[in-house]
Structure 1
Amino acid sequence: MAFRDIIAQLRQDITTAEDAGDEQTVARLRRELDEALRHGEEKADQE
C-alpha cells in the first residue's frame, strides 16, 4: 500500500472511530498517524 493510501486509511479510521464515540481507538489511531507522518517526513528528508 502506498504511503498516501496508508495516511488516507488512518484518517478514515479516525473519523469512523470518532463517529462511533470510541475515544480509545481514536487516540491510538492518532498516535499511529503521527508516527506515520513523522516516518514519511524522515524518508523525504533522506531522498
Structure 2
Amino acid sequence: MDTLLLGILLGFIAGYLVRSLVSQMRRRRFEEEYGHNPRSHMKQRS
C-alpha cells in the first residue's frame, strides 16, 4: 500500500507542477497580447 500512497503523492506533485507551468505560459502570452493582464487580482505571487 506504500506504493499506492507514493503514486498518489507523485501524481499530485506532477499535477501541481504542470498547472504552474501552464499558468506561467498563459501569463506570458497574455502580457504579450494585451500588455497588462486586466485580471491582475487573479494573478497572485507564485
Same fold (TM over 0.5): yes
1:7-47: per-residue Cα shift (whole Å, max 9, x none)? xxxxxxxxxxxxxx511000001000000000000000000
Q: What is the CA RMSD across the aligned residues, in angstroms?
A: 1.6
Q: Identity across aligned pairs (percent)?
A: 4
Structure 1: state its 5+ residue gaps.
Answer: 1-20
Q: After the TM superposition, which residues 1-47 of structure 1 pair with which residues of structure 2 at under 5 Å, given as runs? A: 22-47=8-33
Higher relative contact order (CA 8 A, sep 6+): 1
Point out the structure with the larger helix share. Answer: 1
Bigger Rg over Cα: 2
Gap regions ≥5 residues in structure 2: 34-46
TM-score, normalization by structure 1: 0.54
